Structure 1
Amino acid sequence: MALQEKLDRFKRQQEKCQSTLTSIASTKASATQNGRRTPTPTPPAPVPVKFSNDTERLQHINSIRKAPVGAQMKRVIALLFESRQAFTMEQINEACYVDMRANKDVFDSMRKNPKVKFDGEKFSYKSKHDLRDKKELLFLIRKFPEGIAVIDLKDSYPTVLEDLQALKAAREIWLLSNFDSQEDIAYPNDPKVPIKVDDDLKQLFRGIELPRDMIDIERDLQKNGMKPATNTAKRRSAAQMQGISSKPKPKKKKNEITKRTKLTNAHLPELFQNLKDS
């Protein structure tokens, strides 16, 4: 009896194997079309990660996080300045590898930095003047008739220096250099804005004695790196070749009324007021 059960079980296994082979054969037949076998797509092989590349990246991150607090702050502030976006501590860590959660000194210094704004969750760049475009820039400059330093405007937004040059070219503002600090000062070029000039500056300007000869004036302009609008030496040389005197003609004296003047217009006494005063 036990032998019969084993034979029956063997027959069932044989039938199962036969059905499996039949199923495999039918699957291969359906995959064949027009005498060609359709290749089975093979999954792409995973890109191997080189251990050396990953080691270099980890070493770079480690060197950043072991750098002094000031160096790490500089990286974060540069990120905030260039992007002008707000970042969480996790986003800062992903962007520039500065982990402020693990370094409390960097976090406290960033939170107290005057160039950084922290709202309790995100960090962003804080400029001295909150400007967004050229229109707001011009509006601000017009509030400072005595001038505003360009260094205070440089970090307002990324293209502020280009907008300053555009406003200068459009004669909306003046850009003048400060001889003491060698920094540019922006002044509004608006007739409606009163310009106050110090008395000392007025006296200094009026006390400057210019050369009497135009050639000397042109020479002084060239010494200071400016191109004169005239060329007196060339003009005088051409005039001498043509036989024209280059000396200026003396001005005629105005006719003044004196006691010897014949009074032909006695009916207009206001003309002779200076004669009576004399």
Structure 2
Amino acid sequence: MASLHESLNKFKKQQEKCQSTLTSIAAKAGSSRVATNYKATTASTSSSTNTKSPAPAVKFSNDTERLQHINSIRKGPVGAQIKRVIDLLLETRQALTPEQINEVCYVDINANKAVFDSLRNNLKVHYDGRCFSYKSKHDLKDKNQLLILVRKFPEGIAVIDLKDAYPNVMEDLQALKSAGQIWLLSNFDSQEDIAYPNDPRVPIKVDDDLKLLFRGIELPRDMIDIEKDLQKNGMKPATNTAKRRAMAQVHGIGSKPKPKKKKHEISKRTKLTNAHLPELFKNLNVPSS
């Protein structure tokens, strides 16, 4: 019995020793696993941090392009800024303050003394101390005022001086012409249209005899002779042919020879539509068949 009891105690001690060994091994393995997991987690975090996409670039405001455009206008030449303002005043036909002008066409009049002074003294601009407005050469509002003005100039008034009177002035000029109330003729020198009054109260009737006499006048073939005749009658020619020809010779430009008229002869193939009037052909040389 004693030996059996000793064997049991020895077995228990071995079991306790094995249990202690297994516990220590398990503890070491757990700590190692935790360390390994920590290292893996740390490495993964570090790797994800390093491979993280860069922050998006800062986007400029969508208004940047407009601000650059405004800056280029304000830094531009004074003449260009004045033109922008005058074009605005002409288009709107309204009296605008400097603030309103700046808001619409980006020209800061108050901040640019050169622009302000030039506009204030411009012939096309009216300044009342507060607002700027467009000033045309002739202050007209409608077609009736336009007709009254043209009738004040029997020698004619240049259309270029009327173009900016009010927006549809050109349409009214054409309407007055169609109605026979004015004439629109081109100036020979400047090639600009001139408006002349046509008073219907003084109609002029020309006799047929005078018309035939006028049409029967044979003009000289050379332009120099025409100019001399005009000067004899106290009129100033619109051209100077002698001077023009002299200048052409200086520059080596010869006068164009007049093309010779081709002489038409009657042949066998000619169809005589007026054969019943033999006197028309008495002076013609008809070749014999």
The TM-score normalised by the length of structure 1 is 0.53
Aligned letter for 1:125?
A: Y
2:71 aligned with 1:71? no
| Aligned equivalent of 2:168 | 159
2:94 aligned with 1:85? yes
Query: CA offset at residue 65 of structure 1?
Result: 0.3
| Aligned equivalent of 2:158 | 149
| Aligned equivalent of 2:106 | 97
Aligned letter for 2:63?
A: D
Compare CA radii of gyration and give the structure with the larger one: 2
**Cα RMSD between the aligned structures?**
3.0
Asked if the contact 2:181/2:200 (under 8 Å) is kept, the reply is: no
Asked if the contact 2:93/2:134 (under 8 Å) is kept, the reply is: yes
Distance in 2 separating the partners of 1:88 and 1:245: 87
Query: CA offset at residue 135 of structure 1?
Result: 1.0
* Seq. identity, %: 76
Q: Secondary structure at the match of 2:63?
A: helix
Distance in 1 separating the partners of 2:279 and 2:85: 69
Asked if the contact 1:175/1:185 (under 8 Å) is kept, the reply is: yes
Of residues 50-59 and 93-102 in structure 1, the stretch that sits farther from structure 2 once superposed is: 50-59
Query: CA offset at residue 53 of structure 1?
Result: 2.6
Q: Which deviations, in whole Å up to 9, do the C-alpha atoms of 1:218-241 show, x marking residues without a partner?
A: xxxxxxxxxxxxxxxxxxxxx945
2:193 aligned with 1:184? yes
Distance in 2 separating the partners of 1:91 and 1:245: 86
Distance in 2 separating the partners of 1:89 and 1:105: 14
Q: Figure out how many residues of one structure are paired with residues of the other and give that number.
A: 164
Aligned letter for 2:197?
A: P
Gaps (5+ residues) in structure 2?
Answer: 1-58, 205-213, 221-271, 281-289
Asked if the contact 1:145/1:193 (under 8 Å) is kept, the reply is: no
| Aligned equivalent of 1:133 | 142
Asked if the contact 1:240/1:246 (under 8 Å) is kept, the reply is: no
Query: CA offset at residue 162 of structure 1?
Result: 1.1
2:93 aligned with 1:55? no
Distance in 1 separating the partners of 2:152 and 2:169: 17
Q: After TM superposition, what 4+ stretches of structure 1 lie above 3 angstroms from structure 2? A: 191-195, 205-208, 239-247
Q: Secondary structure at the match of 1:51?
A: coil
